[in-house]
């Protein structure tokens, strides 16, 4: 049960709106609210195993979720997860519906117009995958073909040739798709790919751990070529309710979790003994 009319928040949003008219940094508004409410509201996708998903008991699980819980623990508050659509999270203007996104978001120039990226917590490669029967053997073979991806994702930006990542290693556009099919999430793409090579799409692009999960689940897909690019994945907070104090606290906690190997341990537990928390 989470009926919440958020009346208490109205005053805070109004106060935040008034303050933003002065264009001054409103230090601590969100952070104070978290502390006063004793609850960190974390937005994350619930349809993206092994990063975040709902288990049989209806409890959120996965790497992002465990990182989120740990952040809340170190903040000394309870964690509560909210699961809006990915494009609603990346669009910003959260109006304090949730405080932070722990959802493996890549910092990009366009996203930074509406969001802050207080701390990068791990790095994953993104890769193309095709049906096992696909005749395509090289990345160049996908040129002009139909490629599926998640709407409002960095992979979609990559396919569009418009990926403006911040603080990421250099990369090149190795594929120029003919048609881009943008669906709600990567598992929908994989379901289409499963139907056969070239039926609904000729391949898709997603994060490497996700594709490994697909292969484990018996999906007839295989990796195509080397990873297309590597992306840093970060926490995100709302620029509309800019709160430097919260950002500083999040950055401090992530640095601490890196130092005591908590992040590495979580990565090893969730990603088949691989540590994705080290930059390359």
Partner 1 sequence: MFVDTVIEDKALHKPAFLIGLFITVLAIFFALNFTNTLFGEFLRPVIGDPKESGFFGRFAVSFVLAILFVLNLFAISFFKLKIQIAIVWLELFLLFLAFAYSFDLKMSFIQSRIPLMITRGLFTTIYISAISIVIATAIAIIGAIAKLSNNGFAYAISSFYTSLFRGLPLLLQLFLIYKGLPQLGFMVDAVPAAITALSLCYGAYMTEIFRAGIQSIPKGQWEASRALGFKFGLMMRKIILPQAVPIIVPPTGNQFIAMLKDSSLASVLGVWELMYLAKTLGARDFRHMEMLLTAAMIYWALTIVLEVIQARIEEKYKQKS
Binding site for partner 1 (CB under 8 A): 2-7, 9-10, 13-14, 17, 46-50, 53-58, 82-85, 88, 93, 95-97, 185, 187, 190-191, 213-214, 217, 219
* Cα-Cα-Cα-Cα dihedral sign, residues 55, 60, 65, 69: negative
Q: How far is the CB of 1 from partner 1 (least distance, A)?
A: 8
70 in Cβ contact with 266 (< 8 Å): yes
Q: How far is the CB of 238 from partner 1 (least distance, A)?
A: 11
Q: How far is the CB of 8 from partner 1 (least distance, A)?
A: 9
Q: How far is the CB of 244 from partner 1 (least distance, A)?
A: 22
Q: What is the rounded CA–CA span in Å between residue 212 and residue 238?
A: 32
Of 191 and 245, CB closest to partner 1: 191
Of 215 and 248, CB closest to partner 1: 215
- Going by C-beta distance under 8 Å and a sequence separation of 6 or more, which residues neighbour residue 74? 253, 256, 257
Of 213 and 232, CB closest to partner 1: 213
Of 175 and 266, CB closest to partner 1: 266
Terminus-to-terminus CA distance in the chain, angstroms? 43
């Amino acid at each position: 049960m989470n009926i919440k009319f958020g009346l208490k928040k109205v005053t805070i949003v109004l106060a935040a709106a008034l303050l933003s008219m002065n264009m001054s940094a409103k230090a601590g508004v969100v952070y104070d609210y978290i502390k006063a409410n004793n609850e960190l509201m974390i937005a994350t996708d619930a349809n993206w195993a092994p990063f975040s998903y709902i288990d049989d008991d209806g409890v959120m699980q996965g790497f992002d979720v465990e990182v989120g819980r740990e952040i809340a623990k170190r903040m000394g508050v309870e964690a509560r997860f909210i699961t809006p659509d990915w494009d609603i999270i990346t669009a910003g203007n959260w109006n304090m519906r949730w405080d932070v996104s722990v959802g493996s978001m890549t910092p990009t120039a366009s996203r930074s117009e509406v969001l802050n990226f207080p701390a990068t917590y791990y790095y994953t490669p993104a890769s193309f995958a095709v049906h096992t029967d696909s005749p395509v053997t090289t990345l160049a073979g996908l040129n002009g073909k139909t490629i599926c991806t998640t709407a409002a994702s960095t992979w979609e930006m990559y396919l569009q040739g418009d990926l403006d990542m911040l603080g990421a290693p250099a990369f090149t556009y190795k594929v120029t798709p003919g048609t881009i099919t943008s669906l709600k999430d990567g598992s929908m793409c994989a379901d289409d790919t499963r139907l056969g090579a070239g039926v609904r799409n000729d391949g898709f692009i997603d994060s490497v751990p996700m594709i490994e999960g697909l292969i484990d689940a018996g999906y007839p897909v295989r990796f195509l070529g080397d990873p297309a690019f590597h992306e840093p994945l970060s926490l995100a907070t709302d620029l509309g309710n800019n709160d430097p104090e919260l950002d500083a606290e999040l950055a401090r906690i992530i640095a601490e979790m890196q130092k005591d190997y908590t992040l590495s341990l979580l990565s090893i537990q969730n990603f088949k003994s691989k540590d994705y928390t080290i930059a390359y």
